[in-house]
């Protein structure tokens, strides 16, 4: 049987509402996008994990009935996917003929739950996507994909939806692009999709984030699309209308697979390689000094961490960042990382 989730020349586009709210709204959005040949799969939330109690938690089983009815009316039925968070959800998806499911960010963070879901999926026809865990932990993400593979699921993909961090830099969820790129390096066989809606959290960010993902060679997008986004029961600020989705797809520049590029690009890359090597050489020098400082502190019975000194280091670096035109948050994080490693070396 051919796979729903596979790596191909054309990006896989998944679109649909954050939540199924009513048969009318579901039919309206599906009618407006079903005939676009670029859409490969329809997404719709049936059970909604909400961070705080009191919000709309999804329609549950009735939504599955509406999906089945909606699909029957389609001239050429498209596959549907929804989020599952409990083994009972998996059973209901199988019962109602859902084609693919995904594990949300609040589920992939929990290995016990992922294990239970993987067991519930064993032997089913379901294709499965795994959103990155809410915390920036690549091992949990990889672990979830491995648990599903071990349960015999081979129609599998990963979805990058951004991470909850101390500072999200204007995004709803910090993209931390280096993490999905590292996932791709470690699991090149797993298609990698981007969820620009949950990364951006705002309508105007969906198109630029989609282009960014394609430029980074992601294999597809999962985009929230609603007939009347402003009155949507969930994620109203980030959902786009079907027309906006079609314009977004029209304007997407195709991915290029040219890895090398013109000669001045190659020359600049060589310069970057030299700078990267120099950064590591300087870091290694810095760590050697830190180690020696650790020995002196120990000999004089001094604490390793000295808040006053750390404040001085940080102030000096932030001043330098401003003078050099570097992003202050970036330099703060970098300095915190280097300082943390330095303290570890001193122990």
158 lines the binding site for Mn ion (CB under 5 A): no
Interface characters, 3-42, with ligand PEP (x: CB under 6 A):
---------------x------------------------
Please give the distance of CA 102 from its chain centroid, rounded to a whole number. 12
Which of Mn ion, ligand PEP, none binds 71 (CB below 5-8 Å, type-dependent)? none
Interface characters, 198-237, with ligand PEP (x: CB under 6 A):
x---------------------------------------
21 lines the binding site for Mn ion (CB under 5 A): no
Element (H, E) at 223: strand 220-224
| Shortest separation between residue 192's beta carbon and Mn ion, angstroms | 19
Candidates 4, 15, 18, 117: give the one binding Mn ion (CB under 5 A).
18
| Shortest separation between residue 122's beta carbon and ligand PEP, angstroms | 23
Q: Which residues in the 120-139 window bind ligand PEP by CB under 6 A? A: 131
Tell me if residue 158 falls in helix, strand or coil. strand
Which residues have a Cβ under 8 Å from the Cβ of 40 and sit 6 or more positions away? Answer: 4, 12, 13, 14, 78, 79, 220
| Shortest separation between residue 139's beta carbon and ligand PEP, angstroms | 18
Q: Are 13 and 214 in contact (CB under 8 A)?
A: no
How crowded is residue 307: how many other Cβ atoms within 10 Å of its Cβ?
8
Q: Are 155 and 127 in contact (CB under 8 A)?
A: yes
| Shortest separation between residue 262's beta carbon and Mn ion, angstroms | 40
Nearer to ligand PEP, 198 or 203 (CB): 198
235 lines the binding site for Mn ion (CB under 5 A): yes
| Shortest separation between residue 200's beta carbon and ligand PEP, angstroms | 12
d(CA 83, CA 66): 16
Size of the site for Mn ion (CB under 5 A): 2
Enumerate the β-bridge partners of residue 220.
12, 193
Q: Are 260 and 266 in contact (CB under 8 A)?
A: yes
Name residue, tokens 């938690």: 57
Which residues have a Cβ under 8 Å from the Cβ of 86 and sit 6 or more positions away? Answer: 47, 116, 117
Stretch that binds Mn ion, among 184-192, 229-237, 254-262, 264-272 (CB under 5 A): 229-237
Nearer to Mn ion, 21 or 235 (CB): 235
DSSP state of 11: P
* Phi, then psi, of 62 in degrees rounded to 5: -55, -35
Candidates 160, 161, 184, 203: give the one binding ligand PEP (CB under 6 A).
161
Stretch that binds Mn ion, among 212-220, 233-241, 252-260, 327-335 (CB under 5 A): 233-241
Which of ligand PEP, Mn ion, none binds 104 (CB below 5-8 Å, type-dependent)? ligand PEP
- Closest to 32 in 3D by CA, of 247, 252, 197: 247
Interface characters, 169-188, with ligand PEP (x: CB under 6 A):
--------------------
Which of ligand PEP, Mn ion, none binds 172 (CB below 5-8 Å, type-dependent)? none
- Closest to 221 in 3D by CA, of 207, 233, 234: 207
Helices (H) and strands (E) in the chain, counts: 12, 8
Q: List own/partner pairs for 143-147 with CB under 8 A and 24 or more apart.
A: 143/111, 143/114, 144/103, 144/108, 144/111, 144/114, 145/187, 145/190, 147/111, 147/114, 147/115, 147/118
Q: Are 104 and 135 in contact (CB under 8 A)?
A: no
Stretch that binds Mn ion, among 115-123, 188-196, 231-239, 254-262 (CB under 5 A): 231-239
Q: Which residues in the 59-118 window bind ligand PEP by CB under 6 A? A: 83, 104-105
Task: Give residues in contact with ligand PEP (CB under 6 A).
Answer: 18, 45, 49, 83, 104-105, 131, 161, 198
Task: Give residues in contact with Mn ion (CB under 5 A).
Answer: 18, 235
């Amino acid at each position: 049987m051919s796979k729903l989730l596979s790596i191909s020349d054309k990006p896989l586009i998944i679109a649909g509402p954050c939540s199924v709210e009513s048969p009318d709204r579901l039919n309206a959005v599906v009618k407006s996008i079903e005939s676009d040949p670029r859409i490969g799969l329809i997404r719709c939330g049936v059970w909604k994990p909400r961070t705080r109690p009191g919000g709309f938690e999804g329609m549950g089983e009735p939504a599955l009935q509406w999906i089945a009815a909606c699909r029957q009316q389609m001239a050429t039925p498209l596959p549907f996917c929804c989020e599952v968070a409990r083994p009972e959800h998996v059973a209901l998806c199988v019962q109602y003929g859902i084609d693919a499911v995904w594990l949300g960010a609040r589920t992939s963070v929990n290995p016990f739950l992922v294990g239970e879901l993987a067991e519930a999926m064993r032997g089913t026809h379901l294709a499965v996507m795994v959103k990155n865990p809410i915390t920036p932990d690549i091992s949990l993400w990889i672990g979830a994909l491995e648990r599903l593979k071990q349960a015999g699921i081979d129609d599998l993909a990963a979805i990058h939806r951004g991470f909850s961090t101390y500072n999200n830099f204007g995004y709803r969820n910090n993209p931390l692009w280096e993490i999905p790129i590292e996932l791709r390096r470690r699991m090149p066989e797993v298609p990698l999709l981007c969820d620009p809606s949950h990364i951006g959290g705002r309508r105007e960010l969906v198109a630029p984030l989609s282009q960014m993902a394609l430029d980074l060679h992601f294999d597809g997008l999962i985009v929230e699309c609603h007939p009347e986004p402003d009155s949507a029961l969930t994620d109203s600020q980030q959902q786009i209308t079907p027309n906006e989705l079609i314009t977004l797809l029209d304007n997407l520049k195709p991915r290029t697979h040219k890895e090398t590029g013109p000669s001045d690009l190659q020359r600049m890359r060589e310069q970057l390689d030299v700078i990267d090597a120099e950064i590591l050489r300087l870091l290694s020098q810095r760590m050697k000094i830190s180690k020696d400082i650790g020995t002196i502190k120990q000999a004089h019975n001094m604490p390793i961490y000295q808040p006053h000194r750390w404040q001085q280091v940080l102030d000096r670096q932030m001043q330098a960042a401003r003078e050099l035109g570097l992003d202050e948050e970036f330099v703060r994080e970098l300095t915190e990382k280097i300082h943390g490693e330095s303290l570890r070396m001193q122990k």
